[in-house]
Structure 1
Amino acid sequence: MKTTKTIALSILALLLTCSTVSAAKLQTTVSIAPLKYFVEKIGGEKVKANIMVKPGSSPATYEPQPRQMALLSKSEIYFAIGVPFERAWIPRFRSANDKLEIINLGKTVVHQTMKTHVHDEDEHKHHNEHETTQITDPHVWLSPPLVRIISQQIRDVLIEHDPANTEAYTSNYLNFAAEINKLDSELLNIFTPKGERFSFMVYHPSWGYFARTYGLNQIPIELEGKEPSPKELTQLIKFAKKNSVKAIFIQPQFSQKSARAIASSIGAETLTADPLAEDWAENLRRTAATFIKER
C-alpha cells in the first residue's frame, strides 16, 4: 500500500513538473509600456514582458531600480526603442546579463527630427522663417503604420527564441496587424475628411509621428526637458493667441509650468495626452477624439 502511494505521489510530482515546464514563459523586458502592449499582443500567453520605465516616469531621465535589474538578469530579450535613458543604460544591461539579446525596435523604421519653433516677432516675416533645433524623435510607437513594421520584428525575434511556438506568434501577429489596420482607418477617417491642416500645441514634442501620419501640425513648447526662455515664451503666447489655440496638451512625465503659463495667458485649457500609456490603441483613440474636440 505504501509502495502504491509512493508511486502515485511520484507520478503526480512528475506531472506537476511537466506542467510547470510547459507553462514556462519566454522572459522579456521592454523599455516603455506601449512596447509591453505590442509584445503581449504577439506573444500572448507564451511571453512575459516586464516594463523598465515605470508609469509616470520620464524615459529621458529614468534610472532602473534594483528589482528591475534582477528581472532583467532573467530575461532573454530586451526590446529597446531609442528613448534617452537607454543610451547610458544599455551597456549596463549587457554587463548585468551577458546572454541578453538587445533588440532596438526603433532601428526598423525611418526617423524624423523633433523641431522647436521659435517664431519671429516681426509680423512682416514669412511664417516659415524660424530657428529650429533638430533632435532625432524616438516616439515612433505613436504612428500605427510604423507599429505595423515594429510588430513584424517582434514576431521574428520571438520565433527565433521560441521556434516551438511559431504558429502561435504568427497567428497573433496577423490578428494584431488587423487591429492596427482598423485603428489606422479610424484615425484617418477622423482627421483627413476635414480638409485642413490642424495645428495643436504640446508641452513636449511627443506627437510628431502621429501628426505626420494624419496631416496635423505639432507646435511644441520645450525640447529634451529644456524650458523655453522668456523671449521664446512670449513668442509662443503670441503665436497661440494669433492661431486661437484652445488647449495645450501636456503629459504626466514632464513639468507643466510653461504650458500652464501659456494657457493662462490665452485663456486655454491644459489637457493630458500621454504618449506612454500602456493601452496603446485606446489611448490613440482617446487622444484623437480630444484633439478633434479642441479643434
Structure 2
Amino acid sequence: MHRWILPLIGLLIVPSWSLAAEPPPLRVFVSVLPLKYLVDRVGGTHVDTDVMVGPGQSPATYEPTPRQMSRLGKTDLYFRVGVPFERVWIRRLADLNRNMSIIDLRDDLPLRRLEDHHHEDDGGAHREPHQESALDPHVWTSPTLASDMARHICEALSARDPRHAPDYQSGYETLAADLKNLDSRLRNRLAAIKNRKFLVFHPSWGYFADAYGLEQIAIENAGKEPGPRALARVIALARQENIRIIFVQQQFSRTTANTVARAIGGKVVVVDPLAENYIENLRRAADAFFLALDDRHE
C-alpha cells in the first residue's frame, strides 16, 4: 500500500467520528416567545427550542395542540413562567414525560402581585396573596429580571448537558451584557418623564413599570372585563391624570379599550409584551411609552 494512502484514510475517517460523537441538540419547550429568545441566545446551536404560545395567541386561553403534545413527549427541558394556561396544564405535561425537567424561571425572583383596580361587586375577582393567579407572570418585561432568568436557563442547560457548559456560560454572559445595556438605555429614555402613570387594557407591563418608576393602570382584571362602575372609575382616573393613550396588545379584544379612548378623547396604541425579538421589542415599547407620556405635557 502506498505510504500516502493511510494518512488520506485517516483524514476521511476522523471527521465522521467527530460527527458521530456530537450529540443532538437539547429539545426544549418554553411557554412564550420572549423565553425562546432567551433560551436561543444562551443555548445557541446546542438547543432546539419550541414555544407553546405562538404569535398572536393568548397565554390566558391557550391549549396545547396534538403536535405539541407529541413533541413534549420527547422534550428534555420545559421552561415555565406561570402564565395562565400553565396553571391548568403543567401537571398534565409533567405526567406526559417523566424524563422532562420542568424549570420555573421565577424561582428566587422578586415577584409582584397583579394590580386590582376593581371591586367584587363590579365582577372583579379577589385573589389571596398566596395564590399563583394573584402573581404577575410577565417577569420578562424587566431586562434585569430577564437576565436572572437567563442565568437560570444557563444553569439548567449546563446541568442537562455538561459537555457544552462553557458554551452556555459564554452565551449567558453575552446576553447578560446586552440586557444590561438595554436596561441602561431604557432607564435614560424614561428618566425625564414627569407624569409616571399609563393606562393598559391587560396588566402586562408591571415589572417594566416597576423597573423604571412608572405605574400601570389596568382596565382588565383577572382576565375579566370591568363592570360599569369599575369602568367609570378608570375613565375618571384617566381624565384626572390627563391620560390620552391606552396601550393594548394584539392577543386581546380592543372593544373596551376603544370605549375608554372615546370617553377620554384619546387613542389606542399597540405594544406587544409577547414578541420574540426581545431586546428590539422592549426598545420600541419604551419609545411608545415615552412618546405617549411626553405628549401629555406638550
Give the equivalent residue in structure 1 for 2:31: 31
Residues 239, 132 of structure 1: CA spacing in aligned structure 2 closer, same or farther, 3 A cutoff?
farther
Give the equivalent residue in structure 1 for 2:170: 171
Q: How does 1:75-90 map to 2 (within 5 A)?
A: 75-90=75-90
1: CA distance, partners of 2:15 / 2:74: 25
Say which of 256, 276, 284 aligns to 2:274: 276
Other structure's SS at 1:290 match: helix
**Residues 245 and 292 in structure 2, CA contact (< 8 A), matched pair in contact too:** yes
2: CA distance, partners of 1:225 / 1:132: 9
Give the equivalent residue in structure 1 for 2:217: 219
**Residues 118 and 221 in structure 2, CA contact (< 8 A), matched pair in contact too:** no
**Residues 118 and 226 in structure 2, CA contact (< 8 A), matched pair in contact too:** no
1:71-123, Cα deviation, whole Å (9 max, x unpaired): 1111100001111111111111112111010001112312111113259xxxx
Q: How does 1:32-181 map to 2 (within 5 A)?
A: 32-118=32-118, 133=126, 135-181=134-180
2: CA distance, partners of 1:155 / 1:237: 45
Instruction: Name the Cα RMSD after superposition.
Output: 2.2
Q: CA deviation at 1:148?
A: 1.6
1: CA distance, partners of 2:227 / 2:20: 58
Other structure's SS at 2:251 match: coil
Q: Could you tell me which runs of 5 or more consecutive residues in structure 1 were left unpaired when the two chains were aligned.
A: 1-7, 120-130
Other structure's SS at 1:79 match: strand
Q: CA deviation at 1:165?
A: 0.7
Q: CA deviation at 1:176?
A: 0.5
Other structure's SS at 2:115 match: strand
Other structure's SS at 1:49 match: strand
**Residues 202 and 218 in structure 2, CA contact (< 8 A), matched pair in contact too:** yes
Return the TM-score normalized by structure 2. 0.86
Determine whether 1:188 maps to 2:187: yes
- Counting aligned pairs with the same residue, the percent is 42
Other structure's SS at 1:171 match: helix
1: CA distance, partners of 2:13 / 2:73: 28
Other structure's SS at 1:222 match: coil
2: CA distance, partners of 1:32 / 1:77: 14
**Residues 247 and 268 in structure 1, CA contact (< 8 A), matched pair in contact too:** yes
Determine whether 1:291 maps to 2:285: no
Other structure's SS at 1:232 match: helix
1: CA distance, partners of 2:283 / 2:245: 18
**Residues 60 and 85 in structure 1, CA contact (< 8 A), matched pair in contact too:** yes
Give the equivalent residue in structure 1 for 2:5: none
> Going by fraction, where is strand more abundant, 1 or 2?
1
What is the aligned length?
275
2: CA distance, partners of 1:14 / 1:176: 34
1: CA distance, partners of 2:52 / 2:16: 32
Other structure's SS at 1:263 match: helix
2: CA distance, partners of 1:268 / 1:21: 61
Q: CA deviation at 1:216?
A: 0.3
**Residues 114 and 133 in structure 1, CA contact (< 8 A), matched pair in contact too:** no
2: CA distance, partners of 1:221 / 1:12: 66
1: CA distance, partners of 2:207 / 2:215: 10
Residue identity opposite 2:55 in structure 1: P
Determine whether 1:207 maps to 2:205: yes
1: CA distance, partners of 2:271 / 2:206: 13
**Residues 125 and 221 in structure 2, CA contact (< 8 A), matched pair in contact too:** no
Return the TM-score normalized by structure 1. 0.87
Other structure's SS at 2:89 match: helix
Residues 45, 15 of structure 1: CA spacing in aligned structure 2 closer, same or farther, 3 A cutoff?
same
Give the equivalent residue in structure 1 for 2:235: 237
1:232-290, Cα deviation, whole Å (9 max, x unpaired): 11221122122221210001111211111000112211011111111111111101100
1:157-216, Cα deviation, whole Å (9 max, x unpaired): 11111111111111111101100100000011011234x341110000110110010000
1: CA distance, partners of 2:166 / 2:255: 50
Q: CA deviation at 1:15?
A: 5.8
